[in-house]
A and B are shown apart, each in its own frame.
Chain A
Amino acid sequence: MSKSQNISTAAAQPVLEMRAVTVSAMRDASFVVVDHVDWTVAPGEFWVVGGPQHSGKTDLMFVAAGVLPPAAGSCKLFGLETRSFSEAELPKRLRVGYVAEGGQIFNRMTVAENIALPLRYHKNLASADAAPEVKALLELMELSPLADVTPAHVPANWRHRAALARALIMKPDLLLLDNPLSGLAPRHQSWWIHFLDQLGRGHEFFGGRPMTIAATAEDFRPWRKAPRQFAALHDRQFIPLGTWQQVESCDDPGVRELLGPALELVT
C-alpha cells in the first residue's frame, strides 16, 4: 500500500466507533443504563449527547473514553478496540482527553500540579521541565492566579476549567466532556462554548489542528448556535438526531424535554 493510500485510510477512519454497545453502570455492573448504542464520530465533528439526570451520560462517556469496558458490543477508539487496551496502545489512549462532570481534579495537589500530572507521568518530566508548558496553558485558560492553590480553595467554575486544562495538556485529538456546563455561571458557560468552538475549528495553541469533541448535556439549547451533531439518551436508548434543525423538528418527548425553558447566555 502506498503512503498516500495509508494517509487516506487514516483520514477516513472514525475517531470513535460504537457498534451494538451495551453500557452498564460504573457502580453496578449488572445494571444496564444504555442499550444497543450505534455511534460513529468522524474526525473534526462536534457531538452533543443530551439526556436527563441518571440517563447514563457519564457511563457512556466512560465507555467512550475506554475507562469502562462495554458490557456488550464493540467500542473502537482510533480503530482500536477499547477492551483490548494495553500498555503498548498507550500512545493511542493518550489521544483522548476526558473531562469528568465536576472536574474531579485531585484534592491533594495544586491546580498547576494537577495540570502537569499527565505530562510529567507520560513524558517523565521533572516539575521544572513541565513548568513552561503548564504556565502557557494556565495563561490560556486564565488560571494563572490560581496556579498554586489547592482545589478546595478554588471556586467550582474554575475547578471545571482546571480539569479542562488537565485534559488538554497532552494535546489530544478527541476531547470527551461529561456535562461540561453543569453548575457553571452563565459567563463561564459562554466562555466554555466559545473555547470549545475554537478547539473544534483548530486552536493555534494546539497547532491549529481541529479537535474532535463529544460532550454530554442536560440541555441542548446552549449548544444550538454553531453547527454540531446532536444525539439523545432516552429510555436506555441512544438516539442520533442530526443537526440543530432536526433536533427542533423532533417530536420525541424525551428530546423535547431537553429543549425546556430557555436559558439566555451572554455571548
Chain B
Amino acid sequence: MPRELYAEPVQGRLAKAFGFTDTQVFRRAPVPKTYSDFLGRKLFLFFLTVQGLAAFSLITLGVILRKLTAAPNLMHPRIRQEISRAGVAMLPMFIFLALALGFLVIGQAVAALAAFGATNYLGSTMDIVIVRELGPLLAAMVVLARVGTVHVIELGTARALGEVEALEALGIDPVHYLVMPRVIGMALGVFALTVYLIIGSLASGYLFAFLQNVPLTPRTYFNEIVQALGWLDFVLLALKTVAFGFFIAVVTCYHGLAQPLRLEDVSRVAVRAVTQGVIVCVLIDALFILLYLVAS
C-alpha cells in the first residue's frame, strides 16, 4: 500500500488518539514501510499505553476510595465472587505449585547447601529466593495467566457487544460495577495465594530434603528461615503482592474495557494484556528490590 494511504488516516487522528488514548487507531493502520516509521509508531504506542494505564489506574483508585461502600447489597457479593475466583478457586492449583516448587527448587537447594556444610546460609537464601522473589512473582504470573485473561475476554466481549454502554445508559458506573470487584478480588487473591505458596513450598522443600537424608532437623531448618525474616519482609511482601494484584487487574480491565473493541480484537487484546501484565509485574518487582536495598 502506498505510504500516503496509511499516513493520512493516522495523522488525521493524532489529536483524537491523544485525547482518548485510543491505540486501536494505530494498531489497525497498515504496517509502516520503513524501520524508522515502525519504531516511531511503537514508541508512540508505548507512551499512549503508559498514559492510558496511568489514567485508568488513577480512575480506578478514585472509584474504589469514593464508592467502596456504595450499593453494598449488590457489590459485596460481587467482590466476594471475585475473591473466590482469584483466590479460593485457585487454591488446589497453588497446592500443586507449592509441592512442585518445594521438590524441584527448595529441596535441591537445601541438599546442596547441606552437602557443603553451608546450612547457615539456608535462612537468608530461602528468604531471598522464596519469600521475596519467587513466591510473589510466581503467584502473580499464574493469577495473571488464569484469571487476568478471563477478565480481558469477559470485559472485551461485553464492550464489543455494547453491554458497557448499556450499563452507562442505566446510570451504572462501569468502573465501579465491573472493575472495582475485580481489582479488590485480585489484590487480595494474589496476597493470600502468595502466603500459601510460600508456606507450602518451604514445608514441601524440607520434606524433599528429608527424603534425600539431608542431616537437618525440622527445628534447625525452620529456625534458620524464621531468623532470616524481618518485619520488613512481611510489610513489603504484603505491599508487593497487593500491588501485583492491583496492577494485573488494572492492565487486564484496561485492555478489555477502556477502548472501543470489535469482537475480532478480543483475542489479540488478551495476548497484549498478558504481555503487558508480565512487564508491569517485573517492573514492580524491580521497584521493590530497590525498596529492600534502601530499607535494609
Interface residue ranges, A against B (CB under 8 Å) = 26-27, 29-30, 62, 65, 67, 90, 93-94, 96, 98, 100, 102, 104-108, 117-118, 120-122, 124-126, 129, 163, 166-167, 170
Instruction: Known A100-B162, A104-B162, A104-B163; judge A67-B168 contact (CB<8 A).
Output: yes
The answer to whether the Cβ of B37 comes within 8 Å of any Cβ in the partner chain is: no
Instruction: Known A93-B171, A118-B170; judge A29-B165 contact (CB<8 A).
Output: no
Complex A-B: 9 CB contacts under 8 Å: A90-B171, A93-B171, A107-B163, A108-B154, A121-B74, A121-B170, A122-B172, A163-B166, A166-B170
CB-CB nearest in chain B for A118? B170
- Partner of A121 from the list B13, B71, B157, B169 (CB cut-off 8 Å) is B71
Q: Report A183 CB to chain B, min CB distance, Å.
A: 15
Whole-angstrom distance between the alpha carbons of A257 and B52 in the complex?
44
Q: Mark B12-32, 1 if CB is under 8 A from A, else 0.
A: 110010011000000000000
- Partner of B71 from the list A26, A29, A62, A124 (CB cut-off 8 Å) is A124
- Could you tell me if B171 and A94 are in contact, using CB atoms closer than 8 angstroms? yes
- Could you tell me if A121 and B20 are in contact, using CB atoms closer than 8 angstroms? no
The answer to whether the Cβ of B222 comes within 8 Å of any Cβ in the partner chain is: no
- Could you tell me if B71 and A120 are in contact, using CB atoms closer than 8 angstroms? yes
Q: Report B221 CB to chain A, min CB distance, Å.
A: 47
- Could you tell me if A124 and B165 are in contact, using CB atoms closer than 8 angstroms? no
Whole-angstrom distance between the alpha carbons of A96 and B171 in the complex?
9
**A-B pairs with lowest CB-CB distance, top 9:** A98-B169, A104-B166, A120-B74, A126-B73, A104-B162, A118-B170, A27-B260, A67-B168, A93-B171
Instruction: Known A120-B73, A121-B71; judge A104-B172 contact (CB<8 A).
Output: no
Whole-angstrom distance between the alpha carbons of A120 and B170 in the complex?
12
Majority SS at the chain B contact face: helix
- Could you tell me if B71 and A30 are in contact, using CB atoms closer than 8 angstroms? no
Interface centre among B157, B163, B166 (most CB of A within 10 A): B166
- Partner of A30 from the list B13, B158, B168 (CB cut-off 8 Å) is B13
The answer to whether the Cβ of B6 comes within 8 Å of any Cβ in the partner chain is: no
- Partner of B16 from the list A30, A124, A170 (CB cut-off 8 Å) is A30
Q: Mark B60-74, 1 if CB is under 8 A from A, else 0.
A: 000000000011111
Question: What chain B residues lie within 8 Å of A118 (beta carbons)?
Answer: 170-172
Question: What chain A residues lie within 8 Å of B288 (beta carbons)?
Answer: none
Known pairs A107-B158, A122-B171 / 17 extra A-B pairs, C-beta < 8 Å: A26-B165, A26-B260, A30-B12, A30-B16, A62-B169, A93-B171, A94-B171, A98-B170, A104-B161, A107-B163, A120-B71, A120-B74, A121-B172, A124-B70, A124-B74, A167-B170, A170-B170
The answer to whether the Cβ of B177 comes within 8 Å of any Cβ in the partner chain is: yes
- Could you tell me if A100 and B71 are in contact, using CB atoms closer than 8 angstroms? no
- Could you tell me if A100 and B165 are in contact, using CB atoms closer than 8 angstroms? yes
Whole-angstrom distance between the alpha carbons of A30 and B9 in the complex?
10
CB-CB nearest in chain A for B169? A98
Question: What chain B residues lie within 8 Å of A30 (beta carbons)?
Answer: 12-13, 16
- Could you tell me if B165 and A62 are in contact, using CB atoms closer than 8 angstroms? yes
Q: Report B189 CB to chain A, min CB distance, Å.
A: 19
Q: Report A31 CB to chain B, min CB distance, Å.
A: 10
Whole-angstrom distance between the alpha carbons of A104 and B172 in the complex?
15
- Partner of B169 from the list A65, A90, A122, A129 (CB cut-off 8 Å) is A65
CB-CB nearest in chain A for B25? A28
Whole-angstrom distance between the alpha carbons of A157 and B16 in the complex?
38
Whole-angstrom distance between the alpha carbons of A98 and B162 in the complex?
13
- Could you tell me if A107 and B171 are in contact, using CB atoms closer than 8 angstroms? no
CB-CB nearest in chain A for B72? A124
Question: What chain A residues lie within 8 Å of B12 (beta carbons)?
Answer: 30
- Could you tell me if A121 and B177 are in contact, using CB atoms closer than 8 angstroms? yes
Interface centre among A105, A122, A167 (most CB of B within 10 A): A122
Question: What chain B residues lie within 8 Å of A125 (beta carbons)?
Answer: 73-74
Whole-angstrom distance between the alpha carbons of A117 and B171 in the complex?
11
Question: What chain B residues lie within 8 Å of A65 (beta carbons)?
Answer: 169
